[in-house]
């Protein structure tokens, strides 16, 4: 079973169990460098808002893909337009459990399709997402000479994308209180590093490529990151399947059958003819959706907030506490591979039961607060002894001193209270700027995305704050 990929360069989303796949030889796009020396079209993107935009007739796309695949892809779906852009709709009644599309591996686009001479020049350290981005640039440059042109010309242009890496400084300022702001900065830096590693290859084939800029490469990486599907064997673009839109509540996902050598989608509910068909990309928060996919949803059940705690520099026990934190608060292997995780960064999810056990508020965060509340070495030593006598985890049990336990949780509620104030002020600022005539036409969409993000994070923080208040009251 595959998972929706937000690219190996940026972050992998392991929300589904990776499936094992057998080695297969994908259909070759080009067999030699000579095929690269075809007439390339310009990468200049068609403009929106008053200027002409390249259009593609969707009616013939599915029949083109089925001819290329040599089999039926779907008899129950058709391409149409929705408020989200190109989308898939039920062309007839669909029942729960129906297989609504099947796309063979041979018509999926992977980094293995790179021309051999170019592929040999790309370092193994370059991730598949960057390799696939290079392939996408080659095919887009080929224009109508590309065998994938009917698919390539239907991919969105940069002007249509709202991933946060395309936001300008004033737009990013709307979300600077959220961790997605720094994730955006880090993502840009990673793409730039990959571009610097690949640029010499573009220069070697400059006669064919022309000028491939960082902006071109960033655009291609974003297309791959928002549209590709990943498995243990890497990434692949799946034509037609990537036109289906996201619904976080859907149980339908893209699955792959290695025996049949195809990817498929099974409907999780009934659809009437003409109704838009949706699947779930993953259990993604709005921060993830806006960073990697360029959209948000008004109420996202998977929203979460990242917070960072630091040991005050003036704390007399700073050195000892720091050593304990680094020893005991080690991220899991999965999180350790993700640069945004650290021993002092915690992810809060919605605490649904104000008087429950606090599920959603990490136990490690509460343990961190207990360590911070210690005022002498003996209290810290006692925590270490307790950890050795139990499960080896530091500060996971309530402190023996009730007042200390309350103090630790009041410290958390104070921190979260400040974050609530910041999010509330940011939301108010967004609402006040909604009538500002100086904003360009794209900003309202991005302002709505920022509002969805901040409102979701505010909801999460309020739930944590309420639980902490109740816990302190019940402990007295």
pLDDT above 90 as % of the chain:
65
Half-sphere exposure of 176 (CA within 13 A, CB side): 10
Beta strands in 191-299 (DSSP E): 229-231, 234-237, 245-246, 254-257, 262-266, 278-279
Report pLDDT for 43: 42
Model confidence pLDDT, tens digit, residues 306-342: 999 999 999 999 999 999 998 888 654 444 444 445 7
Q: Mean pLDDT throughout 11-38?
A: 30
Q: What percent of the chain has pLDDT over 70?
A: 83
- Alpha-carbon distance 457 to 423, whole Å? 8
Which residues constitute the domain of residue 119?
1-6+55-298
Calculate the CA 262 to chain-centre distance.
Answer: 24
- pLDDT score of 231: 67
pLDDT recorded at residue 341 = 52
* Position 106 in a domain: yes
Q: What angle do CA 468, 470, 475 make, to 5 degrees?
A: 95
The last residue of one of the domains, among 276, 298, 320, is: 298
3-state secondary structure 93-138: CECCCCEEEEEEHHHCEEHHHCCHHHHCCCCCCCCHHHHHHHHHHH
Report the domain count for the chain: 2
| Claim to verify: residue 364 and residue 286 sit in the same structural domain | no
The answer to whether the Cα torsion of 230, 234, 238, 243 is positive or negative is positive
Q: Are 105 and 262 in contact (CB under 8 A)?
A: yes
Task: Give the pLDDT band of residue 437 (cuts 50, 70, 90).
Answer: low
pLDDT (mean) for 147-161: 92
Residues 109 and 222 in one domain: yes
Sorting pLDDT into bands at 50, 70 and 90, what band is 24? very low
Q: Looking at residue 56, what is its pLDDT? A: 57
Alpha helices in 286-362 (DSSP H): 286-288, 318-328, 333-336
* Residue 398 to residue 449: CA distance in whole angstroms: 39
Q: What are phi and psi for residue 398, nearest 5 degrees?
A: -55, 140
Residues 95 and 224 occupy one common structural domain = yes
Give the per-residue pLDDT at 84: 81
The conformation of residue 76, written as its DSSP 8-state character, comes to S
- The pLDDT score that the predictor gives to residue 5 is 39
Question: Which range has the worst mean pLDDT, 57-61, 231-235, 357-361?
Answer: 231-235
- Whether the CB-CB separation of 434 and 447 falls below 8 Å is answered with yes
Contacts of 381 (CB under 8 A, 6+ apart): none
pLDDT digits (tens, 9 = 90+) for 357-416: 999 999 999 999 999 999 999 999 999 999 999 999 999 999 999 999 999 999 999 999
d(C-alpha 349, C-alpha 411), whole Å: 19
Same domain, 416 and 464: yes
pLDDT confidence of residue 442: 63
For residue 36, being part of any structural domain is answered with no
CB neighbour class for 196 (10 Å; exposed up to 12, middle 13-18, buried from 19): exposed
Rounded Cα distance, 120 and 365, in Å: 47
Which pTM does this prediction carry?
0.84
Residue 157 lies in a domain: yes
Question: With 80 as the cut, is the pLDDT of residue 178 above it?
Answer: yes
Does 18 have pLDDT greater than 50?
no
Do both 131 and 210 map to the same domain? yes
Contact 88, 79 (CB under 8 A): yes
Which tens digits make up the pLDDT trace of 75-124? Answer: 999 999 988 888 999 999 999 999 999 999 999 999 889 988 888 888 88
30, part of any domain: no
Domain boundary among 245, 272, 298: 298
Phi, psi (rounded to 5 degrees) for 148: -105, 10
CA dist., res. 122 & res. 201, Å (int) = 8
pLDDT tens per residue across span 351-369: 999 999 999 999 999 999 9
Angstrom distance (rounded) from CA 454 to CA 217: 30
258: pLDDT strictly greater than 60: yes
The 3-state DSSP class for residue 218 equals: helix
Torsion sign (Cα): 139, 141, 144, 150: positive
Least confident range of 274-278, 330-334, 415-419, 464-468: 330-334
pLDDT in tens, 184-206: 999 999 999 999 999 988 888 87
Q: How confident is the model at residue 51 (pLDDT cuts 50, 70, 90)?
A: very low
Q: Are residues 258 and 325 in the same domain?
A: no
CATH code at 467?
Answer: 3.90.1420.10
> What is the token pair recorded at 43?
């990468």
pLDDT higher than threshold 90 for residue 420? yes
pLDDT at 23: 28
How many angstroms separate the CA atoms of 67 and 72, rounded? 8
Task: Tell me the pairing of strands 262-266 and 254-257.
Answer: antiparallel
463 — pLDDT class (breaks 50, 70, 90): very high
C-alpha 144: how far from its chain's center?
31
User: Token pair for residue 457?
Assistant: 């994070």
Residue 274 inside a domain? The answer is: yes
> Among residues 294, 135, 107, 131, which one has the least CA distance to residue 209?
135
Domain shared by 212 and 115, yes or no: yes
pLDDT at 475 over 60: yes
Q: What is the CATH number of the domain that holds 147?
A: 3.90.1410.10
- Confirm whether 13 is domain-assigned: no
Query: Looking at residue 197, what DSSP letter applies?
Result: H
**Judgement on whether residues 308 and 255 belong to the same structural domain of the protein:** no
**Range scoring the smallest mean pLDDT among 28-37, 266-275, 293-302:** 28-37
pLDDT of residue 449: 96
Is the pLDDT at 441 greater than 70? The verdict is no
Q: For residue 48, is pLDDT > 50? A: no
Domain match, 134 and 200 both: yes
Average pLDDT over every residue of 202-225: 87
Instruction: Report d(CA 91, CA 99) in Å as an integer.
Output: 14
Per-residue model confidence (pLDDT) at position 433: 78
Tell whether 290 and 416 lie within a shared domain.
Answer: no
Instruction: Give residues with Cβ within 8 angstroms of 202, minimum separation 6.
Output: 209, 212
Predicted confidence at residue 59, as pLDDT, reads 72
Give yes or no for residue 8 having a pLDDT over 60.
no
Residue 7's pLDDT band, with cuts at 50, 70 and 90, is very low
Rounded to 5 degrees, what are φ and ψ at 54? -65, 135
Residue 99 inside a domain? The answer is: yes
Identify whether residues 425 and 282 lie together within a single domain. no
- What is the per-residue pLDDT for 117? 87
Q: Which two tokens stand for residue 342?
A: 């650290």
Helices (H) and strands (E) in the chain, counts: 15, 13
pLDDT of residue 404: 95
Of the listed ranges 79-88, 228-237, 443-452, the one predicted with least confidence: 228-237
Q: What share of the chain is helix, strand, coil (3-state, %, to 5)?
A: 45, 10, 40
Residue 276 domain flag: yes
Residues 6+ apart with CB under 8 A from 332: none
- The whole-chain average pLDDT of the chain stands at 84
> Which candidate, 18, 23, 21, places its Cα nearest to that of 4?
18
Q: Do both 273 and 358 map to the same domain? A: no
pLDDT of residue 40: 33
Look at residue 83 in the predicted model and tell me its pLDDT: 83
Q: What is the pLDDT of residue 438?
A: 53
């Amino acid at each position: 079973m595959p998972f929706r990929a937000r690219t190996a360069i940026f972050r992998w989303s392991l929300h589904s169990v990776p499936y094992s796949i057998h080695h297969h030889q994908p259909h070759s796009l080009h067999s030699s460098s000579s095929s690269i020396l075809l007439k390339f079209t310009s990468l200049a993107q068609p403009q929106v808002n008053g200027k002409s935009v390249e259009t593609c007739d969707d009616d013939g796309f599915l029949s083109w893909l089925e001819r290329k695949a040599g089999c039926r892809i779907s008899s129950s779906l058709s391409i149409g337009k929705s408020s989200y852009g190109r989308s898939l709709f039920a062309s007839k009644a669909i029942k729960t459990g129906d297989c609504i599309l099947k796309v063979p591996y041979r018509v999926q686009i992977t980094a293995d399709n790179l021309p051999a001479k170019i592929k040999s020049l790309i370092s193994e350290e370059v991730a598949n997402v960057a390799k696939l981005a290079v392939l996408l640039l080659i095919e887009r440059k080929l224009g109508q000479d590309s065998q994938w042109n009917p698919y390539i010309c239907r991919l969105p242009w940069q002007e249509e994308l709202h991933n946060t890496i395309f936001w300008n400084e004033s737009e990013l300022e709307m979300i600077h209180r959220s961790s997605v702001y720094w994730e955006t900065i880090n993502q840009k830096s990673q793409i730039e590093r990959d571009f610097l590693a690949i640029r010499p290859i573009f220069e070697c084939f400059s006669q064919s490529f022309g000028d491939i800029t960082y902006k071109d490469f960033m655009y291609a990486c974003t297309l791959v990151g928002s549209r590709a599907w990943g498995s243990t064997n890497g990434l692949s673009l799946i034509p037609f399947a990537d036109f289906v839109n996201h619904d976080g509540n859907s149980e339908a996902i893209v699955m792959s059958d290695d025996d049949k050598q195809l990817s498929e989608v099974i409907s999780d509910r009934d659809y009437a003819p003409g109704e838009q068909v949706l699947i779930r990309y993953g259990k993604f928060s709005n921060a993830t959706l806006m960073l990697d996919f360029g959209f948000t949803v008004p109420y996202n059940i998977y929203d979460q907030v990242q917070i960072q705690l630091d040991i005050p520099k003036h704390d007399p026990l700073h050195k000892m506490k720091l050593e304990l934190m680094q020893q005991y608060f080690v991220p899991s292997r999965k999180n350790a591979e993700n640069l945004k995780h650290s021993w002092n960064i915690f992810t809060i999810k919605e605490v649904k039961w104000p008087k429950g056990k606090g599920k959603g508020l990490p136990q490690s965060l509460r343990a961190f607060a207990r360590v911070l509340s210690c005022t002498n070495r003996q209290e810290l030593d006692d925590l270490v002894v307790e950890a050795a006598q139990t499960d080896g985890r530091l500060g996971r049990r309530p402190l023996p001193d009730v007042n200390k336990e309350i103090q630790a949780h009041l410290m958390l509620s104070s921190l979260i209270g400040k974050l609530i104030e910041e999010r509330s002020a940011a939301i108010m600022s967004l609402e006040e700027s909604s009538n500002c005539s100086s904003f360009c036409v794209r900003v309202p969409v991005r302002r709505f995305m920022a509002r969805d993000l901040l409102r979701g994070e505010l909801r999460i923080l309020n739930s944590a704050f309420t639980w902490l208040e109740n816990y302190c009251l019940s402990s007295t």
